[in-house]
Amino acid sequence: MLTLYYTRTSFYSRFIWLTLLEKQLKFKLVALKLNGDQFAEEFIEISPFSRIPALVDGEISVIESSAILDYLEIKYPVPALLPKDPQILAKVRMVQTVTNNELLPGLMGMLIHRKDILDYQYAQKRLNNVLDFFEKLLINNTYFAGEQLTFAEIVAGNLIPYFPKFNIPLDRYPQLNRWSENLLLRKSWQEMQLSQEELINFKRRMKVMPKIIQKRRRERVKIGKNV
């Protein structure tokens, strides 16, 4: 049996959750609150850096979301979520990586900072640059890889369709808008929908994230784990 350690609002956890759903695997979810429970000894045995997501598959524990995705793809290859064609694979990997390295920090920056400060404006610029780039990459295709749903949807599609809920309209991006609406209709996306209350709490939590991060660092130093 597969077990995913996660929280419902964690971006990295959510795309593992989506992968398990899209591959129609049987799995168990174990929710962490991240209020200190990530430092419990039993969890650190599974996830030595005390972070989610962590996936346990029988004898094996896998941490780091990209490693988990690769593991699931090779171990459970049907339906395939990575294309074989090198050019299309490069596109999918670009979408995955740019989402993690540019889009997510952009969104977080916009949720954390006040609009009048440079950090917010820089975050917004990063986010808009990614949306411009993705809009062009999509062309008129159903998915980034054409007709095949891939990790590009699992990763970028785990953020962009929810932008309107964060007051980031997609009107300027007709391709991404169409693509987002299409993803939100899928059973797997619907199964993971956050409630209005969860979204409000998430936004509130983001505002105090710098303080939460400091607190976690103090905890990590105390227990002698990696920061």
Ligand X SMILES: N[C@@H](CCC(=O)N[C@@H](CS)C(=O)NCC(=O)O)C(=O)O
- Picking from 166, 106, 114, 165, the residue whose alpha carbon sits closest to that of residue 134 is 106
Asked if 216 touches ligand X (CB under 6 A), the answer is yes
Asked if 143 touches ligand X (CB under 6 A), the answer is no
Residue recorded with tokens 């710098």:
210
Shortest spacing between CB 51 and ligand X, in angstroms: 3
- Picking from 67, 39, 226, 215, the residue whose alpha carbon sits closest to that of residue 151 is 67
Judged by CB under 6 A, the chain residues 8 through 27 that form the site for ligand X are 10-12
Shortest spacing between CB 140 and ligand X, in angstroms: 31
Task: Assign 5 to helix, strand or coil.
Answer: strand
Nearer to ligand X, 178 or 220 (CB): 220
Shortest spacing between CB 152 and ligand X, in angstroms: 16
Nearer to ligand X, 146 or 210 (CB): 210
Contact 57, 75 (CB under 8 A): yes
Asked if 64 touches ligand X (CB under 6 A), the answer is yes
Judged by CB under 6 A, the chain residues 31 through 60 that form the site for ligand X are 34, 38, 50-53
Q: Strand pairing partners for 31?
A: 6
Residues binding ligand X (CB under 6 A): 10-12, 34, 38, 50-53, 64-65, 216
